[in-house]
Amino acid sequence: MKIVRGIGELQLSGEIGLVPTMGALHDGHVALLRAARTENELVVASLFVNPAQFDEQADLAAYPRDEERDAAIAAAAGVDVLFAPSAEELYPAGFATWVDPGEAGGEGASRPGHFRGVATVCLKLFNIVRPRRAYFGQKDAQQAAVIRRLVRDLNLDVAIRVVPIVRDADGLALSSRNGRLSAEERAQALALPRALAEGASAADPVAATRAALNGLAPDYVELVEIGGATVLAAAVRVGSTRLIDNVLLKGELS
């Protein structure tokens, strides 16, 4: 696996699969990398903690960074090229052009500016890497919906694949933020996947999820359309950690 930092050093050829990440790789990311490996000649993963998408500076500062560990995981998953640029490489002095992705549900409302940063960096990565396919997780359902809409609205020539959520044995969706939970908080957090599972089979999924959250206060519980599929999505705070999760209600993700 080659690690590349400069845009000019990326000399890529063949049918490319791109997996954008911010590092702190876990088995959820690995599922995306494996999916890319099975479908493409060349797999490129990006490793970039994108300052533009953090609405809280403390969150950016606290984001876990361990490139050596991430590189070992990416190499083991069959990545050919790890693109790990500096912030200056992607946002040089004078950078001023942003993608406004429009309305983005409860997640967009809870995190002002977040999806503008996500959409901008993903469009830049698509233009830099020129992938045939790009891989996103169902875990971030609103993000997947925003990226699908970006591709459609701006006529981008890339297929967006959405990979199902990878969970721990207890049902909690894998996330780099789970490491911040105390044992007690983690036990409380399990109400989130349980409530969504209960909501998914109820007549009123949103109301049933809210009722089953066991005291966890939701930022939102809502339906999100991703392409032809509908997921039931929620965000909650457990202590100072914000967690999101969702379950498929209708249709198929691909």
Binding site for ligand PAJ (CB under 6 A): 20-22, 28-29, 31-32, 50, 53, 118, 121-122, 136-137, 139-140, 143, 163, 165-166, 173-175
Nearest to 131 by CA among 156, 97, 111: 156
Around Cβ 53, how many Cβ atoms within 10 Å? 21
Of the pair 165, 216, the CB lying nearest ligand PAJ is at 165
Minimum distance from residue 20 beta carbon to ligand PAJ (Å): 4
In the complex, least distance from residue 211 CB atom to ligand PAJ, rounded to whole angstroms = 25
Strand positions, DSSP E, 5-105: 16-21, 42-47, 81-83
| Strand arrangement of the beta sheet that strand 218-226 belongs to | 218-226, 229-238, 241-250
Q: Is 169 helix (H, G, I), strand (E, B) or coil?
A: coil
Report the nearest approach of ligand PAJ to the CB of residue 165 (Å). 4
Q: Could you tell me if 207 and 200 are in contact, meaning their C-beta atoms sit under 8 angstroms apart?
A: no
Report CA Rg, the chain.
Answer: 18
Q: Are 55 and 78 within 8 A, CB to CB?
A: no
Instruction: CB nearer to ligand PAJ: give 222 or 245.
Output: 245
Minimum distance from CB of 221 to ligand PAJ (Å)? Answer: 19
Closest CA to 191 of 232, 234, 230: 234
Q: Work out how close the CB of 85 gets to ligand PAJ at its nearest, in angstroms, rounded to a whole number.
A: 12
CB 19 within 8 A of CB 36: yes
**Nearest CB to ligand PAJ, comparing residues 136 and 208:** 136
Closer CB to ligand PAJ, residue 107 or residue 140?
Answer: 140
Residues tagged active-site = 29
* Of 22 and 74, CB closest to ligand PAJ: 22
User: Cβ 223 to ligand PAJ, closest distance in Å?
Assistant: 18
d(C-alpha 72, C-alpha 45), whole Å: 12
> Is 108:55 a contact under the CB 8 Å cutoff?
no
Q: Which is nearer to ligand PAJ, 13 or 252 (CB)?
A: 252
227 near 149, Cβ under 8 Å? no
CA 231/CA 251 separation, integer angstroms: 9
